[in-house]
Amino acid sequence: MQRRRGRGLFSAGSLAAFAGGAVVAVIASRVLPPLLAQAAGSATGRDPFEALADDHRHIMALLTEMERTRPDETFRRTQLLLRLKRRLAAHALAEEDVVYPLLHDRAHEEGDTRRLYGEHADMKMHLFALEQMPKDDPAWRSRLSALKTLIAGHVRQEEEVDFPKLRGALGQQATGRLSGTVQREKALIL
């Protein structure tokens, strides 16, 4: 009695096909979301500066929610901190990779651009400290308050000064394209 090799459930061919499909799925899951987000952002015609301001409102709401937690709500604080980090990461990526270079090059705001990048770095240091601290540490709330103050000032500067300058420097057509590019960058943080 002869046994046929390579025809079972776990044959070399079926394993290779499975591995190939898995590779394609992983690549598609990393490549498609940013491309689809860019297309959707461009198609909707949503104002990119309003989308960024909407992010600001969500971030400030998360910070307020975090402030309202009690020291014994360590799990809740951790959960909110992780949500904040994810939201800030996507938002910061879009600003740092798209908006700030345009602010620097098109609106000729070199000083503002450097300050905004620096504030993002300061925010990241506060987030790291909050993540490392015990969530019931009495200093946790004051560190959170310092972060919220930093972000509130940053948001004000962007929305009242820098975004209007950039909008004026770009014009309507480039502002429309910016919407898709911002959405693509934000989608890179999965």
pLDDT in tens, 48-63: 999 999 999 999 999 9
Residue 143 has what pLDDT? 98
pLDDT value at residue 112: 95
Residue 21 lies in a domain: yes
Task: Examine the pLDDT at 170 and tell me if it is beyond 50.
Answer: yes
Full residue range of the structural domain in which residue 43 is found: 12-187
Flag whether 6 is in a domain: no
Q: Is residue 1 part of a domain?
A: no
Q: How do residues 125-154 score in pLDDT, each as one tens digit?
A: 999 999 999 999 999 999 999 999 999 999
Q: CB-based contacts of 28: which residues, under 8 Å, 6+ apart?
A: none
Domain presence at residue 66: yes
pLDDT of residue 46: 83
Residue 84 lies inside a defined structural domain of this protein: yes
For 54, phi then psi, to 5°, come to -65, -40
Give 88-106 as a 3 state SS string.
HHHHHHHHHHHHHHHHHHC
What's the CATH number where 91 sits?
1.20.120
The tens digit of pLDDT for each residue in 80-127 reads: 999 999 999 999 999 999 999 999 999 999 999 999 999 999 999 999
CB 146 within 8 A of CB 154: no
Per the domain annotation, does 181 fall within a domain?
yes
**76 in a structural domain:** yes
Q: Alpha-carbon distance 81 to 163, whole Å?
A: 27
Cβ–Cβ < 8 Å for 84, 66: yes
Integer Cα distance of 26 and 81 in angstroms: 28
Quote the pLDDT of residue 22: 56
Residue type, 139: A
Domain count, the chain: 1
Question: Angle CA(51)–CA(54)–CA(59) in degrees, nearest 5?
Answer: 130
pLDDT reported for residue 189: 85
Torsion region of 108: left, alpha or beta (phi above 0 gives left; psi -120 to 50 gives alpha): left
Is residue 145 included in any domain, yes or no? yes
Among residues 95, 3, 15, 111, the alpha carbon closest in space to that of 49 is found at: 95
What is the pLDDT, as a whole number, of residue 41? 46
